[in-house]
Amino acid sequence: MKKRIVVYILGWLLVFEGFFLMLPCFVGLMYQEVEAVWFAVVALVCLCLGFIITRLIPKDKTMYAREGFVITALSWVLLSLFGALPFVLCDVVPSYIDAVFETASGFTTTGATIFQEVETLPYCINFWRTFTHWIGGMGVLVFMMAVVSLADGRNMYLMKAESPGPSVSKLVPHVKSTAKILYGLYIGLSALEFSLLIFGDMTVFQAVTTTFGTAGTGGFGIMNDSMGSFSNYTQIVVTVFMIAFGINFSFYYLLLLKKAWKDALKLSEVRVYISIIIVASLVVMFNIRGQMGSYPNAMKHAFFQVASIITTTGYSTVDFNQWPEFSKTIMIGLMFIGACAGSTGGGMKISRFIIWAKTFFKELKVMIHPRNIYKISMDGRKVEHETVRSVNVYLVAYVLLFSVSLLIVSINGHDFETNFTSVATTINNVGPGFHLAGPVSNFSFFSPLSKVVLIVDMIAGRLELFPLLLLFSASTWKK
């Protein structure tokens, strides 16, 4: 383990977080809020500490997979620990654990909150809550790679560790150029959504914070009813962009930059993703029509909530906790499926389900024709055995972490629906669960131990489990 390169990059992380914290500070000054001072203090601490650490430049900046995993995991932990300080200093949370929960939920784009009342929070606090979604959506390390050179030609290990999905490929030969392209597309889509939202019934501040939450597929709202009080136009715009940010960014690269629209439209993951949204929305629409009063109203809410859950955004227009059990079961299923790999969405990712399905049917064929050789392919390319193996190992790790988390959270004595969906919604980075953790509720009722478990689930889920889990392996730290 090359610890000096790990510490060096973590120093750069603190520098970047310091600059990030200056934005809510400026927002607070604009609205004449005293809380802006605390953002400035924390920003200064991060900048000074980070600057000192980055002066300790390692002689050898070569990095390998082990360092990449450790840096990624520690980066997200560090982001949450320092990003939580303004909540404590501004005295808007009862404890530091609550502050870390809220911050981790923001950076991991989960959107589960401990606040019962968000409309009375200072503007700078609400800005920071939603801005953490935007930072975490594409990944802070990817952003850093687009700006500075962190390691000698080994940045791909960081991108692989931080990016969601079973496999990560460079859009162009250089990792830094890939990072710039990804953030260029990310900023472009964000700007487009903001431009459309301000033509509706949102203020500029509401449009900015909603764009942050949608782009990062996070879902922190600044209204107590989330998106429920906004116009049909606004809700439709948010629905479209939730779906858009749940699509693999390779799709936009092929479509917009390479002009290879035929290749883009052939991506099987995107086609399955859109198909699931359409089918699930129509089924839910017919199921909730009685509650919604009319088919148009049922269609609007069904498409919004299906898009919100499968992309793991977590916004809501209605309390879907009150929907029929059939629709609620569909929603829980969508939590696990998640969005496309290479998007800002969470969940287990559609590409993994495609690989699992193809593996299943391949094994059935092998049972019937044991001497034949079958291969698994996606989009005309063979899926390597290493990828299939990693996808299967991911499932084992996922089930183990989910089971252990559920057991610990169950100590609180809450009902099974609350416990199960709370773990599901945090490990899949969705946000709202069901029953006591529903869309009009919050997570403040959980014990400190349960909150720590859910924090681990959020970070582990965002990092595809392994980077965080490897921190607890002794072999990771050996020389």
pLDDT tens column, 210-248 = 999 999 999 999 999 999 999 999 999 999 999 999 999
Query: How many helices (H) and strands (E) are present in the chain, helices listed first?
Result: 21, 2
Per-residue pLDDT, averaged over 253-282, amounts to: 91
Per-residue pLDDT, averaged over 317-342, amounts to: 96
Q: What is the pLDDT of residues 447-463, one digit of tens each?
A: 999 999 999 999 999 99
Per-residue pLDDT, averaged over 184-196, amounts to: 97
Per-residue pLDDT, averaged over 98-122, amounts to: 97
Residue with the larger pLDDT of the pair 66 and 1: 66
What pLDDT, on the 0 to 100 scale, is given for residue 57? 81
252 neighbors 182 (Cβ within 8 angstroms)? no
Count Cβ atoms below 10 Å from residue 203 Cβ, excluding itself: 10
pLDDT over 70 for what percent of the chain?
Answer: 94
pLDDT band at residue 160 using 50, 70 and 90 as cut-offs: low
Buried b (16+ CB within 10 A) or exposed e, 360-394: eeeeeeeeeeeeeeeebebeeeebeeebbebbeeb
* Residue found by looking up tokens 């802006």 in the block: 36
Question: Tokens at residue 213, please?
Answer: 């939450």
Per-residue pLDDT, averaged over 351-360, amounts to: 94
Per-residue pLDDT, averaged over 10-37, amounts to: 97
Q: What backbone phi and psi angles, to 5 degrees, belong to 36?
A: -60, -30
pLDDT band at residue 148 using 50, 70 and 90 as cut-offs: low
Query: What separation in angstroms does the CA of 475 have from each of 1, 154, 341, 469, 478?
Result: 9, 21, 29, 12, 5
| pLDDT of 169 strictly over 70 | no
pLDDT over 90 for what percent of the chain?
Answer: 75
What pLDDT, on the 0 to 100 scale, is given for residue 197? 98
Query: What separation in angstroms does the CA of 269 have from each of 179, 266, 325, 339, 355?
Result: 22, 9, 28, 9, 10
Query: Which is nearest to 306 in space by CA: 295, 323, 100?
Result: 323
Q: How far apart are CA 120 and CA 126, in angstroms?
A: 9
| pLDDT of 161 strictly over 70 | no
Tell me the β-bridge partners of 377. 382
Average pLDDT, the chain: 92
17 sits in which H/E element? helix 3-30
Query: Which is nearest to 10 in space by CA: 86, 66, 67, 65?
Result: 67
Q: How far apart are CA 306 and CA 424, in angstroms?
A: 16
Per-residue pLDDT, averaged over 254-274, amounts to: 89
* Residue found by looking up tokens 């009319």 in the block: 294
* Residue found by looking up tokens 């923001």 in the block: 106
What pLDDT, on the 0 to 100 scale, is given for residue 61? 72
Q: How far apart are CA 149 and CA 235, in angstroms?
A: 40
| pLDDT of 154 strictly over 70 | no
| pLDDT of 127 strictly over 90 | yes
| pLDDT of 87 strictly over 60 | yes
Per-residue pLDDT, averaged over 402-408, amounts to: 98
Instruction: Give the torsion sign (CA, 441, 446, 450, 456).
Output: positive
Q: How far apart are CA 68 and CA 478, in angstroms?
A: 15
| pLDDT of 296 strictly over 80 | yes
Tell me the β-bridge partners of 381. 378
Using CA atoms in the order 442, 447, 452, 455, what is the torsion angle rounded to 10 degrees?
A: -10
| pLDDT of 473 strictly over 90 | no
What pLDDT, on the 0 to 100 scale, is given for residue 49? 97
Judged by DSSP in three states, 409 sits in helix
Q: What is the pLDDT of residues 3-23, one digit of tens each?
A: 888 999 999 999 999 999 999
Amino acid at 145: M
Query: Which is nearest to 346 in space by CA: 164, 84, 193?
Result: 164
Query: pTM for this structure?
Result: 0.94
- Angle of helix 96-107 versus helix 448-462 axis, rounded to 10: 20
250: left (phi over 0), alpha (psi -120 to 50) or beta: alpha
Per-residue pLDDT, averaged over 359-381, amounts to: 89
Using CA atoms in the order 59, 62, 64, 70, what is the torsion angle rounded to 10 degrees?
A: 50
What pLDDT, on the 0 to 100 scale, is given for residue 469? 87
What pLDDT, on the 0 to 100 scale, is given for residue 474? 77
What pLDDT, on the 0 to 100 scale, is given for residue 163? 67
DSSP 210-255: HHHHHHTT----SSTTTTTTS-HHHHHHHHHHHHHHTS-HHHHIII
pLDDT band at residue 176 using 50, 70 and 90 as cut-offs: confident
Q: How far apart are CA 422 and CA 220, in angstroms?
A: 16
Q: What is the pLDDT of residues 436-451, one digit of tens each?
A: 999 999 999 999 999 9
